[in-house]
Structure 1
Amino acid sequence: MDEEENESMELPFSQDTFCDLWNNVITPSISFIPTSPTVPQCMLDNLFELGGEMDIKDGFNPSASTVPVTTDYPGDFGFQLRFKQSGTAKSVTSTFSEILNKLFCQIAKTSPIEILVTKKPPQGAFLRATAVYKKTEHVAEVVRRCPHHQNEDSMDHRSHLIRVEGSQLAQYCEDPNTNRQSVTVPYESPQLGSEMTTILLSFMCNSSCMGGMNRRPILTILTLESLEYGSCSPSLSLIGPSRGQVLGRRCFEVRICACPGRDRKTEEENKDKLQNGAKQTKKRKSTPAPEASTVKKSKSASSAEEDDKDVFTLQIRGRERYEMLKRINDGLELLDRESRNKSKASTKLDVAVPSSGKRLLQRGEKSDSD
């Protein structure tokens, strides 16, 4: 009887079980649901049901890859970069080399980069700039500023090498899996009368800084990405880092130095010398070497064809020098005449005498009959 009375009795609203209370409460957003191991089973069941109903797009990439892709990819939107022509003067703070696909800039100086697309990206698209090491033996390491420049900076993101200037919407992210750092900024459509959008990047450490890049070449990967769920904001850290679907990608090398114009000119000249040297080497290898017999024949033929009767005029300054060279020339002429006389005499002696019959008479000689 007591049990039936207890079952028929209804507890006040404040004394219901936790599962009953949970079922009567409006389910909050997934970003604010705690993940404590002491959560009751009924709460976890509802959480899993919510997770199954979430619509996740196919292109979502939850985290950055361990080895970033550094090949250019214009994508469906024709994503391109363009740099202003600054030349190689010593006074420039930023200059880009088309030959090297390399940006030369000074530390903490603004480098404008123009963004061009063939059609408008989707709503909420953003740009991401990431620095990686160029060589394969260093590509797994994270590019950070040196300790010296970090200690001098008071910003929250002082360890980031790349900084976006002129925008309050820039967000500095660090991937929890790879620890790679990047900075994002929303994509802005070109203003009226313009075909491109300009972003301002600054590089906050020299390429030669010890404890940082330490003269190791780096690449900057600039990607155009679509907005997916997730953000760098700590309030949504349960979902994951902000990694959207890549719509386009461009890469270029960066050197942060004291004199960008001079270094650009030097590297372009060195590359030109290497290319010219390689071309000359290929030409020499392709041309077959002449045979030794051919060289000897050509030399003998050329010496035989030389004509001694050619007369050359030599201008001599000074009487004394003229007399000396004249005596040398006269002596050489005398030697030539003597050699010619000797050759004539030898030809006379070499005349063949018949073994029988009449003997040939020489000039001025009388015959026996006379």
Structure 2
Amino acid sequence: MDERVFESLPLSQDSFQVLWESVLPSMATQPILDQDNWLPELNTTLSGFDLFPYVPPVLENLLTPPASTVPTTSDYPGEHAFQLRFQKSGTAKSVTSTYSATLNKLYCQLDKTCPLEVLVDKEPPHGAILRATAVYKKTEHVAEVVRRCPHHQQEDAFEHRSHLIRVEGSQRAQYMEDLNTKRQSVTLPYESPQLGSSHTTLLLNFMCNSSCMGGMNRRPILAILTLETPEGQVLGRRCFEVRVCACPGRDRKIEEENASKTPSGSKPTKKRKATPAPAPSTAPPKKIKSASSTEEDDKEVFVLRVRGRERYENLKKINEGLELLEKNKCKEEVVGGASRGKRRVDEGTD
């Protein structure tokens, strides 16, 4: 601003209108700003001077609370009575997914649809979401992030191919990774049950086997499903164990049988049976075998089961040697008997 303009104006003698017209003659035609609404009009009038740059408001939906390092795995129905229900299926070999209520465990095949029914007694607030997260069950592994194995990741062309849990049948699913914990989750907007239904169906896929090297590597996992507000506040939580295998029905049947044998869930331990002391023998003393019985035993054939090819070959050679020795002995007896008979004949002739 030109300092000469201020020097020509006596202090506290002219109004703001005179100052405004002398400083900005081109804007003299603009009306004096209203005292109540001066900020929006001044921002519009002086937009070329960039005196009041526009600052976008902060969206409250983006201010989600930080995720916990160790997620909670306890069930929490909340005020909405959040529940999960699995479709009933047996233990046949043909089933692709089956749920054990006694073990609270889902058995499913790789990349096969697992339908889950979501139930609430009270309608959640508008914009509520469902979140699915996988964590390791054991304490020594719970701090690690559950990811797919490198082999299945390379074979998949999906954008978020490192995620173990995938939602099927919805284009509104969002795959997220926490910046602090690096844990991966998938979210889906909550939909109210359709007319005549009491539940909402959620379709989940598990994209890696429990036995995959470089992935879960036979470590048991838990799936955590939470009902949350748009701001990330948890309204309800349900957890269940998951085993991704080739034959869900067979594995469920075996593990349920083992659990019924051991109520505490620990592995059964084999107890050694105490060997009783030998009772005094009341049988009569064995009789000494006669020469005739010994000859009969020599003619009897026995079968011996031998473990290992090398041991079998050695015993076979020993047996062949004994057979050869027995034949030679018989020949010597025959030859000796013939020679003695010939000698007797010669003696008689003399």
Q: TM exceeds 0.5?
A: yes
Pick the aligned partner of 1:272 from 260, 274, 277.
260
Pick the aligned partner of 2:162 from 159, 163, 173.
159
- Alignment RMSD, CA only? 2.8
Pick the aligned partner of 1:216 from 214, 219, 232.
219
Aligned residue in 2 for 1:72: 75
Pick the aligned partner of 2:191 from 171, 188, 192.
188
Aligned ranges for residues 1-370 of structure 1 at < 5 Å? 3-5=3-5, 9-10=23-24, 21-30=49-58, 61-228=64-231, 244-275=232-263
Deviation at 1:63, TM superposition (A): 1.9
Aligned residue in 2 for 1:310: none
Letter in 2 for 1:248: G
Per-residue CA distance 1:236-270 (angstroms, 9 max, x = gap): xxxxxxxx110000000000000000000000011
Gaps of 5+ in 2: 8-21, 28-45, 270-350
Work out the CA distance in 1 between the residues paired with 2:116 and 2:166.
13
Deviation at 1:227, TM superposition (A): 1.1
Letter in 1 for 2:162: S
Deviation at 1:274, TM superposition (A): 1.0
Closer, same or farther in 2 for the Cα pair 1:89/1:27, shift >3 Å? same
Work out the CA distance in 2 between the residues paired with 1:207 and 1:135.
14
Closer, same or farther in 2 for the Cα pair 1:182/1:11, shift >3 Å? farther
Per-residue CA distance 1:258-291 (angstroms, 9 max, x = gap): 000000000001111112999xx9xxxxxxxxxx
Deviation at 1:27, TM superposition (A): 3.3
3-state SS, counterpart of residue 23 of structure 1: coil
- Normalised by the length of structure 1, the TM-score is 0.59
Deviation at 1:6, TM superposition (A): 7.8
Deviation at 1:114, TM superposition (A): 0.3
Letter in 1 for 2:244: I
Q: How many residues align?
A: 235
Closer, same or farther in 2 for the Cα pair 1:11/1:253, shift >3 Å? farther
- Normalised by the length of structure 2, the TM-score is 0.62
Letter in 2 for 1:141: E
Letter in 2 for 1:194: S
Work out the CA distance in 1 between the residues paired with 2:6 and 2:68.
61
Closer, same or farther in 2 for the Cα pair 1:136/1:19, shift >3 Å? farther
Aligned residue in 2 for 1:349: none
Deviation at 1:107, TM superposition (A): 0.3
Gaps of 5+ in 1: 32-54, 229-243, 282-370
